[in-house]
Structure 1
Amino acid sequence: MKIERCEKESFVVIGKEGSSLDGAGFIQKLWDEANSHFEEVQHLAKKDENGNIGGIWGAMSDFSHSFNPWEDFNKGLYLAGVECSDDAEAPNGWTKWIIPGYEYIYVECESDDTFSKAIKYLEDNAIPLVGAVHDFTCPQTGKNYMFFPIRKL
């Protein structure tokens, strides 16, 4: 597992919000809903210099919307969405989150145990997890990553 670090200033994600209280498979249901109505937010998506969408995020937060880690790593909120410009407003049926700026450790999702391996790495190296973990999909490569916030900016 390759561990990388980056800093990312506060950013906006507009997506479909759900909760672990919604039951098994709720994350996939959110993605199905977001993907089937993507045309409603596509024009709001942040784009790179070539016009490509900047990022697809599965943003997470504790139930208070404070972006703290999920309780017991399995209870919290999830937002399946796209990174948007800061001034974008969420259309009806969509939710806007402003993710705080953090320094992250991020890893490519290469197996089902990526999360537990990364948490073990943080513990073994006495690196605190200071916020909720986020899923990220790079639209250009299709690769999936997990972003672990280790320091507030």
Structure 2
Amino acid sequence: MKIETCTKETFAVIGKEGATNDGEGFIQKLWDDANSHFNEIAHLAKRDDKGNLLGIWGAMSDFSRLFNPWDHFSQGLYLAGVECSDDAEAPYGWTKWLVPGYEYIYVENENNNTFPDVIKYLEENNISLAGAVNDFICPETGKNYMFFPVRRL
């Protein structure tokens, strides 16, 4: 497991929102919904100078919407979407979140052990989570990452 760090200022994500109390498989259903209707928000997505998407996010928050970690890492909100400009308006049926800026530890999500392995690493190194963990899909490589916020900006 290769652990890296970065800092990311507050950013906006427009996507499909759901909650753990929506039942098993709700995250995949959100991604299916977001992907099948992406054309509705494609024009809002941030892009690089080559026209490629900058970020696809599975943003998370506790139920208070304060971006705290999920309750017992098992209950909370999830937003499957794309990074967009802060002033973009979410169309009907979509939700916009402004994810606070954090310093992150991030790792490639290679298997089902990634989350517990990083939580163990944080505990062993006396590092506390400063917010909810986020999923990130790099549009350029297609690789999945988990972003663990360790300091709020």
TM-score range, shorter chain: over 0.9
SS in 2 for 1:2: coil
- Equivalent position of 2:128 in the other structure: 128
Paired positions, count: 153
Deviations 1:103-148 (A, max 9, x none): 0000001111100000000000001101000000001100000000
Kindly, what percent of the aligned residue pairs are identical? 73
- Equivalent position of 2:50 in the other structure: 50
- Equivalent position of 2:8 in the other structure: 8
* Inter-partner Cα distance in structure 2 for 1:48 and 1:104: 22
* Inter-partner Cα distance in structure 1 for 2:6 and 2:12: 17
- Equivalent position of 1:66 in the other structure: 66
* Inter-partner Cα distance in structure 1 for 2:128 and 2:101: 16
* Inter-partner Cα distance in structure 1 for 2:124 and 2:51: 41
- Equivalent position of 2:103 in the other structure: 103
- Superposed displacement of residue 51, structure 1: 1.0
- Equivalent position of 1:85 in the other structure: 85
SS in 1 for 2:34: helix
* Unmatched segments (≥5 aa) in structure 2: none
RMSD across aligned positions (CA): 0.4
* Inter-partner Cα distance in structure 2 for 1:87 and 1:64: 23
Question: TM-score, normalising length from structure 2?
Answer: 0.99
- Equivalent position of 2:119 in the other structure: 119
Question: TM-score, normalising length from structure 1?
Answer: 0.99
Letter in 1 for 2:41: V
* Unmatched segments (≥5 aa) in structure 1: none
- Equivalent position of 1:144 in the other structure: 144
* Inter-partner Cα distance in structure 1 for 2:139 and 2:55: 6
Which 4+ runs in 1 deviate beyond 4 A? none
